[in-house]
Amino acid sequence: MRTYSEIVADYERTVKETNNVLTALRPCGARWWGYAVSHRSFQLLVGQLAPKPNIAILMHWVSYLCGPTGWENQQLQVSWKTGQPDDTNSFEFTLEDKASEFCAIGRALRVQRDVNLDDLSRDYWRFSSDDLPSDFKE
């Protein structure tokens, strides 16, 4: 099992890399790919289904979601805060595009670049136990 410090370092790298890709894909559109009420999980696709480039973003334990379901010239940015030291329950991720008035806030984030959604395994949309806030673990 990963340590708190390893989880924080992974998320810091993921957020930085995701923002770099989102900046490179500014001319592309964004669209909701899915939302599961029971799991409070949200999927967003930026770019084309195929061919590449694109980025698929999954957010779990979504507490806030608003804005258009699809728009062109996305200006998305990911931010996050860790909250209490050594407490993965306090993580909060914000995916926001102020120009389009889109915002999603959740507690776990997963990203995959250049994905062919036709070939995408359902396993991609699942989290390992290391990705779960501790109050969701069995």
d(CA 29, CA 48) in angstroms, rounded, equals 8
Q: How far apart are CA 35 and CA 21, in angstroms?
A: 23
Please give the model's pTM, rounded to 2 decimal places. 0.83
pLDDT tens digit sequence for 78-107: 999 987 777 777 789 999 999 999 999 999
Token pair 């009420």: residue: 37
> Do residues 7 and 14 make contact, with C-beta atoms less than 8 angstroms apart?
no
Q: DSSP secondary-structure letter at 131? A: G
Residue type, 19: N
Residue 88 backbone dihedrals phi, psi, to 5 degrees: -65, -15
- Element containing residue 103 per DSSP (H, E): strand 102-106
103 touches 64 (CB < 8 A): yes
How many CA atoms, within 13 angstroms, populate the side-chain half-sphere of residue 58?
Answer: 16
d(Cα 4, Cα 17) in Å, to the nearest integer? 20
Which residues have C-beta within 8 Å of that of residue 89, sequence separation ≥ 6? Answer: 83, 107, 133, 134, 135
d(CA 109, CA 95): 10
Confidence band of 120 (pLDDT split at 50, 70, 90): low
For 15-58, how does the pLDDT look when each residue is reduced to its tens digit (9 = 90+)? 999 999 999 999 999 999 889 998 899 999 999 877 778 999 99
